[in-house]
Amino acid sequence: MAEKGILAYFRSPAEAESIVPKLKALRAVDVAVDKIGQFSGDGATESMNPLTGGFPGLSFLTLGAEGIDQDTAVLAAADPDASGLSSPRAVDGSIENYGGIEGRDTLLTVVIDERSYELALRVIQDAGGKV
């Protein structure tokens, strides 16, 4: 059994996850849905007052960037998104049209049998995914 991989981009995790059962019905070997962005980490996971508690830096507070070295943190803090004044992000934190990706900041990764490949592509595209 030969396998093929598909990388498709969606506007939200819910949009991508809605077709996971269909892909599994097509005997997908592996399916994963992930948010993608400029910086590592899942975003700020706790509320804190920067005046009273320790925090890694501006990029952590405004972008949710975690686990990055000091040099990367300085560059991240210099990013226009860190100030919020010229941020291309929507209220829910999703990327509007940053870097030409048209708000598609969710990645669907599929490994599927090559016999089901074309049908899987159609399922993804019908659901609004961009391959």
Return the minimum-mean-pLDDT range out of 12-16, 59-63, 116-120: 59-63
- Reading the block at residue 59, the tokens are 């990029």
pLDDT value of residue 68: 73
Going from the C-alpha of 102 to that of each of 48, 70, 95, 108, 122, the distances in angstroms are 32, 31, 8, 16, 20
Say how far apart CA 56 and CA 96 lie, in whole Å: 27
Statement: residue 102 has pLDDT above 90 = no
Going from the C-alpha of 57 to that of each of 53, 73, 88, the distances in angstroms are 11, 7, 21
DSSP 3-state percent helix, strand, coil across the chain (nearest 5) = 35, 20, 45
pLDDT value of residue 35: 83
pLDDT value of residue 62: 65
Domains and CATH numbers, the chain: 1-37+95-131 (3.30.70), 53-87 (no CATH)
pTM of the model as a whole: 0.61
